[in-house]
Amino acid sequence: YQAKATGAGSVFYTQSLADDLHRRQRVSDRFKLALESDMFHLVFQPQVRLEGGSFEGCEVLIRWRDEELGAVPPSEFIPIAEELGLITKLGEWVLSQTCRHMSDWAARGLSVPGRVAINISAQELMSSGYVANLEDTVASFGCDPSAFELEITEHGLMQDILAGKEILNELEDLGFRIAIDDFGTGYSSLSYVKHFSADQLKIDLSFVRDMMVDPASNAIVAATIAMAEKLGMQSVAEGVETKEQADALKAMNCPIAQGYYYSRPLDAQDFEDTWLIPANGTT
Ligand code: C2E
Ligand code: MG
Ligand code: MG
Ligand code: MG
């Protein structure tokens, strides 16, 4: 009986592994096509100041709706893009599209206050010529480096600390801002934080999600905010979904928040209509 149950389990396991591989192959194939034919778009999620609620900037997130697969989340296709060696090309697309939106808004007297944050994969950051390309692209759209923030995951930075540090320094010298994303999930020693002079520390949404029910998560959030402040970094709480979370974060002196409680990520037109106000107040 036992053996039979185990046998059935392994058949099931083999089947689901095969399904996973099949899905991965399908996503890879469709991804290559999507990249050739410009099938992605960007969404924008505002960041707000917890005290007073002012609009302080936004994060750019990529979206892909495939004709055959439907919506494929970035958590699924970004690792595939990395594996295929296509993340640099995808990153260039994200950057130039972001610049295109920003210069289009600027031409119409609209702008994002603070910074526009873009996610950068570690593989992209470490690729040769990355900094020069970034600089050229931003300049070619007439954008200013200081309008951008580059979000790099803590995990990504830990892969090659010395190289990462050198590139971040180059980027900062050019005026780009740096954010450490998903802070708390990278299995790194806290002492590594001091190697990276980042402007922002983004507290991973898993801690924010659990902070009202799990004392350990609550303590980690509070400690991260206090540490960031002492190190001269601005903390951003990711994934804020409720007023209770917002109030608790405010009580911990967290300066900035981002999450569904304030706004879902919005497509360019909705973002413009809802959050971008003409500087001179006319239309
Ligand atoms: P991330 O940079 O940590 O982005 C935050 C994620 O949390 C986004 O998921 C966002 O849609 C989601 N989110 C925002 N507010 C809430 C909330 O209140 N509750 C919950 N549950 N989730 C919230 P998304 O867009 O699916 O992106 C997932 C990850 O994929 C990102 O995590 C980032 O690591 C990566 N990614 C997204 N866009 C890009 C891109 O253009 N380039 C690169 N290299 N990576 C990207
Ligand atoms: Mg991010
Ligand atoms: Mg994050
Ligand atoms: Mg993340």
Residue 13 CB less than 6 A away from ligand 1: no
Would you give the DSSP letter of residue 281?
Answer: S
Residue 4, pLDDT > 90, answer no
The enclosing H or E element of 117 equals: strand 115-119
The span from the CA of 137 to the CA of 144, in Å, is: 11
- The residue-averaged pLDDT of 55-71 equals 97
Q: What is the mean pLDDT of the chain?
A: 92
Lowest mean pLDDT among 84-93, 120-129, 133-142, 158-167: 158-167
Residue 2 CB less than 6 A away from ligand 1: no
For residue 121, which ligand has an atom nearest its CA? 1
Q: What is the pLDDT of residue 73?
A: 98
- The residue-averaged pLDDT of 4-24 equals 72
Its pTM stands at 0.93
60-79 burial code (b ≥16 CB/10 A, e <16):
bebebebeebeebeeeebbe
Residue 154 CB less than 6 A away from ligand 1: no
Q: HSE of 222 in the Cβ direction (CA atoms, 13 Å)? A: 12
Nearest residue (by CA) to ligand 1, atom 15, is 259
Tell me the three-class secondary structure of 152-190, residue by residue.
EEHHHHHCCHHHHHHHHHHHHHHCCEEEEEEECCCCCCH
What are the distances in angstroms from CA 208 to CA 106, 109, 184, 241, 259?
Answer: 34, 36, 11, 9, 10
CA of 204 to the centre of ligand 3 (A): 5
Residue 210 CB less than 6 A away from ligand 1: no
Q: Is residue 278 classed as helix, strand or coil in its secondary structure?
A: coil
Band of the pLDDT at 12, cuts 50, 70, 90? low
For residue 44, which ligand has an atom nearest its CA? 1
